[in-house]
DNA sequence: ACAATATCATTGGCCGACCAAATATTGCTA
DNA sequence: TAGCAATATTTGGTCGGCCAATGATATTGT
């Protein structure tokens, strides 16, 4: 979503500084997000993955067997997205799913050895991506940006509930 | 793309501060981007649009008749994405396309009156989104964030070329 | 004048992401 | 104990986004 420039110059109303800046952050965030995701996509494609899949694998590697409903909560994505992503990762033998012995509604997910073998390369990919993304940034810049992003994320997750 | 925590604790190597922070910005950016786009999606759905479409309409409103190849360059998205988005907007009578009288390879795009009627509501949507996204931000915060995002975008667009 | 190259847009395919609806199962309450 | 609510997952559909390939047209070089 990006602001239209015509919108802020409605007939008969002066464009003050506040109005001029509305949408500016959203505008910039949208463009950065798209470019970041595209760059991630290019790097991940080198190891046969798509953006988002590496997050899933990393999380499964960290936490071991996990039920899908927990993945939905902790990754913050739609249940159907989790199902389809896992189906694709399963097809590539990177994860395995099995029914819960106690609760037959539940699927439990685990990373496979093949999936685990990718973790090193995944780490290399996002390291390279961050080197690109934050080129020229001092530690102070990174800390400041991380703080601002955290506040944005908090604002956006609050509105979602 | 998000860093795996296991990755930074390789056997036999101490985890220093630098390593700990690798991927952190990318990690945060990924989550903020997703939440921001999801929130944009919800707001835009109220007026029958999808994220990205409002950028297209805004741009066409600002610049009048535009060839598709120029849209590709200025919006920074794939030609096939532009084609398909315009096809959907055309189906909704929000844009119209016609062949260039001089160069038969070229399609020229313009916003329709119906599309133009949406601009006010588009402006309302991104205004509301920015209010949510930047809740609690002082002007200084906004300026600082805008500057940092601009640097990120520049880094990411440089790597793409 | 013709061949080679470049440009423009489209198609097919895949993916993550969401929304809506459906199905199966479990838990809770009267 | 039965009925209902809640939970878990899946399916179908849509969209933006990219990659690869293709066809039509224009430009450039010989």
Query: Both tokens of residue A43?
Result: 């790097």
Q: Give the model's confidence band at B53: pLDDT under 50 very low, under 70 low, under 90 confident, else very high.
A: very high
Query: Is residue A2 a contact partner of residue A23, using CB atoms and an 8 Å limit?
Result: yes
Q: Which nucleotide is nearest to B78 (CA to C1')?
A: D18
Neighbour-count burial of A88, counting CB atoms closer than 10 A to its CB (0-12 exposed, 13-18 middle, 19+ buried): middle
Cα within 13 Å of Cα(B134), Cβ side? 25
Q: Is the pLDDT of residue A108 over 60?
A: yes
Average pLDDT over residues B143-149: 94
| Of the listed ranges A15-24, A74-83, A136-145, the one predicted with least confidence | A15-24
What is the structure's pLDDT at A19?
47
CB-contacted nucleotides of strand D (7 Å): 7-13, 15-21, 23-27
Q: Is the pLDDT of residue B6 over 90?
A: no
pLDDT tens digits along B54-70 = 999 999 999 999 999 99
Q: Is the pLDDT of residue B99 over 60?
A: yes
Do B61 and A132 make contact, defined as CB atoms within 8 angstroms? Answer: no
What is the structure's pLDDT at A23?
74
Do B55 and A1 make contact, defined as CB atoms within 8 angstroms? Answer: yes
Of A7, A36, A136, the CB nearest to B119: A7
Q: Which residue of A has its CA nearest to B8?
A: A123
B97 touches strand C (CB under 7 A): yes
CA distance A117 to A84: 22
Of B25, B62, B146, the CB nearest to A4: B62
Mind giving me the DSSP string for B29-72? HHHHHHHHHHHHHHHHHTTT--TTHHHHHHHHHHH-SEEHHHHH
Q: Which residue of A has its CA nearest to B141?
A: A148
**Which is more confidently placed, A12 or A53?**
A53
Q: Is the pLDDT of residue A151 over 60?
A: yes
What is the structure's pLDDT at A12?
34
Neighbour-count burial of B155, counting CB atoms closer than 10 A to its CB (0-12 exposed, 13-18 middle, 19+ buried): buried
B34 touches strand C (CB under 7 A): yes
Q: Name the residue closest to C25, CA to C1'.
A: A105
Q: Is the pLDDT of residue A157 over 90?
A: no
Query: Is residue A68 a contact partner of residue A109, using CB atoms and an 8 Å limit?
Result: yes
Residue where the block lists tokens 């399609």: B107
Best mutation target among A13, A24, A32 (most B Cβ atoms within 10 Å) is: A32
Query: Both tokens of residue A82?
Result: 């989790």
Neighbour-count burial of A80, counting CB atoms closer than 10 A to its CB (0-12 exposed, 13-18 middle, 19+ buried): exposed
What are the C-alpha distances in Å from B103 to residues A72, B37, B79, B98, B107? 50, 37, 18, 11, 9
What is the structure's pLDDT at B22?
58
B105 touches strand C (CB under 7 A): yes
A140: left (phi over 0), alpha (psi -120 to 50) or beta: alpha
Q: Which residue of A has its CA nearest to B19?
A: A127
Residue A67 host element (H or E) = strand A66-67
pLDDT tens digits along A110-136 = 999 999 999 999 999 999 999 999 999
Query: Is residue A130 a contact partner of residue B23, using CB atoms and an 8 Å limit?
Result: yes
Helix, strand, coil percentages (3-state) for chain B, rounded to 5, are 65, 5, 25
pLDDT tens digits along A63-74 = 999 999 999 999
A52 touches strand C (CB under 7 A): yes
pLDDT tens digits along A81-97 = 999 999 999 999 999 99
CB neighbourhood size of A139 (10 A): 10
CB neighbourhood size of B56 (10 A): 24
Q: Give the model's confidence band at A8: pLDDT under 50 very low, under 70 low, under 90 confident, else very high.
A: very low
Residue where the block lists tokens 């989104």: B129
CA distance A31 to A52: 18
**Which is more confidently placed, B161 or B117?**
B117
Q: Is the pLDDT of residue A142 over 60?
A: yes
Distance A104 CA to D6 C1' (A): 15
SS3 state of residue A93: coil
Set of chain A residues whose Cβ sits within 8 Å of the Cβ of B129? 1, 23, 26
Average pLDDT over residues B128-144: 92
Query: Looking at the predicted complex, does its ipTM rise above 0.95?
Result: no
What is the structure's pLDDT at A9?
34
Mean pLDDT over each residue of chain B, to the nearest integer: 87
Of A22, A25, A31, the CB nearest to B145: A25
Average pLDDT over residues B20-41: 87
């Amino acid at each position: 979503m990006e602001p239209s420039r015509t919108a802020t110059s409605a007939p008969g109303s002066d464009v003050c500084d506040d109005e001029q800046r509305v949408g500016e952050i959203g505008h910039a965030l949208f463009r950065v997000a798209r470019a970041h995701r595209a760059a991630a996509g290019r790097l991940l494609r080198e190891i046969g993955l798509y953006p988002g899949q590496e997050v899933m694998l990393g999380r499964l590697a960290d936490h071991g067997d996990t039920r899908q409903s927990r993945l939905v909560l902790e990754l913050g994505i739609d249940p159907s997205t989790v199902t389809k992503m896992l189906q694709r990762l399963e097809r590539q033998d990177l994860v395995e799913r099995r029914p819960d012995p106690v609760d037959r509604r539940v699927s439990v997910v685990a990373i496979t050895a093949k999936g685990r073998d990718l973790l090193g390369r995944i780490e290399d990919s996002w390291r390279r991506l961050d080197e690109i993304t934050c080129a020229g940034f001092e530690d102070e810049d990174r800390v400041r940006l991380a703080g601002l992003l955290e506040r944005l994320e908090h604002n956006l997750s609050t509105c979602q509930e």
